[in-house]
Amino acid sequence: MEWIRLPLAEGIYTKQAHCDLPDGTFEREVGKEGFGGPAAHFVHRHAPTGWLSFDGPVKPRALDFAESKDGHASPWQAPVMMHNSHCEVRWWRLAENMPALARNSDGDQLLFIHDGAGVLFCDWGRLELGEGDYVVMPRGSMWRIEVSQPLAVFMVEATEDSYRLPDKGMLGPHAIFDPAVLVRPVMDDAFRAQQTETETRVVVKRRKSLTTITYPFNPLDALGWHGDLTPVKLNWRDIRPVMSHRYHLPPSVHTTFQCNRFIITTFCPRPIESDPGALKVPFFHNNDDYDEVIFYHKGNFFSRDNIHPGMVSFHPSGFTHGPHPKAFAAGAAAVKKETDEVALMIDARDPLDLTDAALKLEWTGYADSWKVKKDQA
């Protein structure tokens, strides 16, 4: 419930945010708490991203994870690309079966399967993996993967935290995706067949250090279980995005998983707004309370140029960003009727630090990609 509050206004403005802008103008949103708090919407003569140069720590960056070809037998050997005290992002390539079990004692682990296929064995049983799967592994789980096709995995740790489903409010609990589509591991014949007396190592990550525990048998030897804690799998194809033909919705509407200090959002193919006055690309905004990371999984991202699957954009809090000039023009002309991209976004409440491993993969021309060429002006 919310009280009726009439907003303040000055000069030229629109009565509805993201709609019916005067010709040749640009809207910029400045808000609190991402897109959920108080906000002001400015009408500008020039695109807020029309800078001549950009130098300093809030410079936007693009990283091409697809260029990192090194494989690692353990997820804890995969390089950390960015991190803060509540979140850690790794890029992991796995070409062969894991030789040891993994356990994360620092927090829940999210695996997003960018490419490849395999089978995950864990305390709860066996789980098939394929392209486009999210897998949430509870903190303390033991698990390993057998590979059928080489895997590329985008991993996000909820450090000292847990993944939960977002509050869907008046949309109801079955909106975006019904919990019934979540898949859990099963204790089938294939799971029981791997319960051997073979010496097995478990590599435990805790406080950025690794401990190896060796058993004279495979400790994934559970006979059964009961309770309400389990790994779950969700494929992006089972997500049904919220849509509005008359109003461009903020990205937080597409939240898939939520932690205390960051959220995971999924952009899936959807129809583009059809109302003549509605903005048809993401609006220019200052996301001053969050660092924004987008991993591009599939398709062409409709608000970006020069981005391909496997790339990551990093927008530190503190600057205005929005669609690239060509994308903005295409949106204004209603060139496309639907999007075809699939992307994962992290909105982190605490600043993220990029590592040297990430910066080695940087496309240095990203900040300049918003510049308008003379023949486009």
pLDDT digits 0-9 by tens, 78-102? 999 999 999 999 999 999 999 999 9
The string of DSSP codes covering 89-158 is: EEEEEE-S--SSEEEESSEEEEEEEEEEEEEEEETTEEEEE-TTEEEEE-TT-EEEEEEEEEEEEEEEEE
Please indicate whether residue 248 is annotated as part of the active site: yes
Predicted local distance difference test score (pLDDT) of residue 185: 98
CA distance 106 to 92: 18
pLDDT tens digits for range 158-200: 999 999 999 999 999 999 999 999 999 999 999 999 999 999 9
Report yes or no: 105 and 89 within 8 Å, Cβ to Cβ: no
Q: Which of the pair, 376 or 333, is modelled with greater confidence?
A: 333
In the set 18, 83, 114, 248, the catalytic residue is 248
Q: Is 46 annotated as a binding residue?
A: no
Give the distance between the most distant pair of CA atoms in the chain.
Answer: 76
44 is in an annotated binding site: no
Domain at 69-162+178-236, CATH from 1.10.510.10, 3.30.450.20, 3.30.530.20, 2.60.120.10: 2.60.120.10
- Kindly tell me if the per-residue pLDDT of 201 is higher than 80: yes
For residue range 336-365, list pLDDT tens digits in order.
Answer: 889 999 999 999 999 999 999 999 999 999
Mean pLDDT of all residues belonging to the chain = 94
| Residue 214's pLDDT band (cuts 50, 70, 90) | very high
Q: Could you say which of 2.60.120.10, 3.40.50.970, 3.40.50.1000, 2.60.40.10 is the CATH number of the domain covering 26-63+238-363?
A: 2.60.120.10
Boundaries of every domain in the chain: 26-63+238-363, 69-162+178-236
Intrachain domains 26-63+238-363 and 69-162+178-236 with the same fold:
yes
Residue 374 pLDDT exceeds 60? no
pLDDT digits (tens, 9 = 90+) for 222-274: 999 999 999 999 999 999 999 999 999 988 999 999 999 999 999 999 999 99
The answer on whether 291 is annotated among ligand-binding residues is yes
pTM score above 0.85: yes
**Residue 355: what residue type?**
T
At residue 377, the pLDDT reads: 45
Q: How far apart are the first and last CA of the chain?
A: 45
Evaluate the CA torsion angle 227, 228, 230, 232 in order and state its sign: positive
- Listed residue (247, 236, 244, 235) closest to 269, CA to CA: 236
